[in-house]
Structure 1
């Protein structure tokens, strides 16, 4: 009895699967019939379909064209930024050299000022010594 129930269940499963496959085939057939009708209608419309297809093709061309324009604009901007970057790099190098020169001049100025102060002190001492000599000679 169990064997018979098993066989009946298997046959029902096979039948259900076959019905599902048949339904899929029917859906595909209906879909193909609709597509065929659309194609037939498209052929009957003639120039209108040619015009719609042309419009669609133009839209498909315009989008990549706009993307290309954007890419070219970005490339141009990249070139400008690169040139500006190089120019600023050169200017930065010139400024670095100027700063180094100014620092060297400052060091030289500091040395000159230090020498000036030492020379002034030495001259003040010498003046003081001569002043003392002159005063001593006046007193004697």
Structure 2
């Protein structure tokens, strides 16, 4: 298997992942290796309140999870299956719906079985910090060949 480019990852997210397509997630193609910058444009359907002033918190969670997963995947030598093992989001302020929601995720540690990622979510012209997240992603080893004593922990 070859390495997935940022363009390939963006195409998978933006054109193949139904939820990402529904909310309009976009990947910044200039994201540096091991990091991902993504955004969700402000849209009334993503409102948490009747006056459509703020993003629904679940939208922040979804963007953080997607950005963290992509940052984890970019850190690997080749694509491999993984799943969210743990994701903690600390909501620091309401995200105004008149501005795009931006996530910046950074892979901080890769082990044989788990990948650790941090993410910050920003909103507004001054990129105000509205949430921070930490995630752990479990690596899946479908192609492992060997005895049980050699299996990654």
TM-score category, normalised to shorter length: under 0.3
The structure richer in helix per residue is 1
Q: 1 or 2 for the larger relative contact order (CA 8 Å, sep ≥6)? A: 2
Which one has the largest radius of gyration?
A: 1
TM-score (ref. length: structure 1)? 0.18
Give the number of the structure whose residues are more often strand, by fraction: 2
- The TM-score with structure 2 as length reference comes to 0.17
